[in-house]
Structure formats: structure tokens, C-alpha cells
Amino acid sequence: MKYVSLTISVGLTLIVFSFSTTSGTESASLSLEIANLIRSVLGSIFPGWDIDIDTLHTIVRKGAHMFEYFLLGVSWAVSFILLRIDPRYLLILAVMIPLTDEGIQIFSTDRGPSLIDAFGFDFPGFFIGGSLILILLRKNIRLKAPK
């Protein structure tokens, strides 16, 4: 089970990295489609309420950062627990994965790295997801002293 969990964590990380290889135009187009869908649904639920599409688009984009990194934090925390790795080392991944992800964007068309995304959205999402798992499973975690 621990290697299945590790495989899932690595796989999810690679999927997140693959999102950064898409062009800025493709990425913006996808998130704008989602924002328009949400706007349409909200408009049908709350007639007369008109949210600015640019604002909603930003919320969708930044929310996607938080959500995907929340899932990564959950996945890596489970893997660390199953592999009996000191969960304090999750902080290293919580920093390194977002920085690597943003670094990949240097090579993507119409994109560039953003420390705001890395530390304002990615790191907090990972930290919250990982912390939630550690809190929920704290009875089953035995911290080993770092070597």
C-alpha cells in the first residue's frame, strides 16, 4: 500500500507539473471557460447578480492552485505516514514542488514563474492539505528523531 501511495503522489506531482507546460493562452482559455460556466450557474441561481468575469477568472485560477496543491499535500502526507518518514520533512516538499512547478513555466510559451503563486497559493494549499491529514491521523504517527 505504501508504494501505491507513493506512486499516486509522484503521479499527481507530475500532473501538476504538466499543467505548467501548457502555454499561457491554453491555460487562460481553460480557466476562462470554467469561470464563464460558474458565472452562468451563479446567474441562474442569483438572478440580477452580475459578478465581473475578470474577478471570477482570477478566483478560478488561484483557486485551482490552492486545490491542486491541497490534493498534493494530502497525498504526500499519506505517503510519508505509510513510509514512516518524519512528516516534518513535508515542509521541504511544500516549498520545493511549487518552486519547481513555477520554474517549469520559464520554458512555457506566454508564461513565467511567480513567487506569488508559489508562496501565496501553492505552498498554503499543500500545507493545509498535509496538515489536515497529519491532524486527522496524529494518533497513528510516531515521529522519529531526524538523523
pLDDT digits (tens, 9 = 90+) for 22-62: 998 999 999 999 999 999 999 899 988 888 999 999 999 99
Name the DSSP letter for residue 105.
G
131, 125, 133: which is closest to 16 by C-alpha?
Answer: 125
Q: Cα–Cα distance between 35 and 53 in angstroms, integer?
A: 7
Radius of gyration of the chain (CA): 18
The domain spans of the chain are 2-25+66-139
Q: What cell was used for 109?
A: 510559451
> Which of 15-40 are b and which e, b meaning 16 or more Cβ less than 10 Å from the residue's Cβ?
ebeebbebeeeebbeebbeebeebbe
Instruction: Enter the pTM of the model.
Output: 0.87
